[in-house]
Amino acid sequence: MIRVGLTGSIGMGKSTTAEMFREAGAPVLDSDRIVHDLYRGAAVAPIEAAFPGVTVDGAIDRGRLTERVLGNPDALKRLEDIVHPLVWAARDAFLKEQEEKGTRIVVYDVPLLFETGADRTVDAIVVVSAPEDVQKARVFARPGMTREKFEAILAKQVPDAEKRARADFVVHTEKGIEAAREEVRAILDELRRR
């Protein structure tokens, strides 16, 4: 089974690209969705113990948690030490299920692929990219996004240029949906020939 790591900096179109892989028949493990599920389940108790007051109605309040970890490397490390092992366990369960189905190609949608070392667990890396002006326009169209939040997020991400340099494939999302979809199809065609 070929494991593909899909990543991209904030505002690059990674989620849309992940959906294109899914539509083209490649099962996608969405690490953000796993984290959202964990914030309503298995991660609630350990996160609340580490960051008292971030739980509302039995779930992690992402806004409160963000306030506690944004700009605080030690707090972020504590959070990652709780969440990452739970995400890896979900990944392992996903892989086992796909192996049992005989799936040839799976995609890991991981925003922090390089930053977490997950790039060492995949066979190919796809980076989703767009020019900086396109990225900023997308990001600042999001509700509640501020320059401070954007810069804090970028500060913990490997720069786009470095991601592209380390990638096996790059999907350029500034060209529009159909052009990106064609790039995804071409990537899958090449991977299927391996």
DSSP 8-state class, residue 141: T
First to last CA, the chain: 11
Asked whether 19 and 116 are in contact (CB, 8 A), the reply is no
Give the list of residues 6+ apart from residue 98 with CB closer than 8 angstroms, or none: 1, 27, 106
Q: Which residues are annotated as a binding site?
A: 11-16
- Binding-site residues for ATP, in ranges, read 11-16
CA distance 44 to 47: 5
How do beta strands 59-60 and 55-56 pair? Answer: antiparallel
Q: What pairs with residue 56 in β-bridges?
A: 59
Following CA atoms 40, 43, 44, 49 in sequence, which dihedral angle do they give, to the nearest 10 degrees?
-170
Contact present, 173 and 13 (Cβ < 8 Å): yes
Task: For residues 40 and 144, give the distance between their C-alpha atoms in angstroms, rounded to a whole number.
Answer: 22
Strand, coil or helix: what is 107? strand
Placement of tokens 């350990």 in the chain: 46
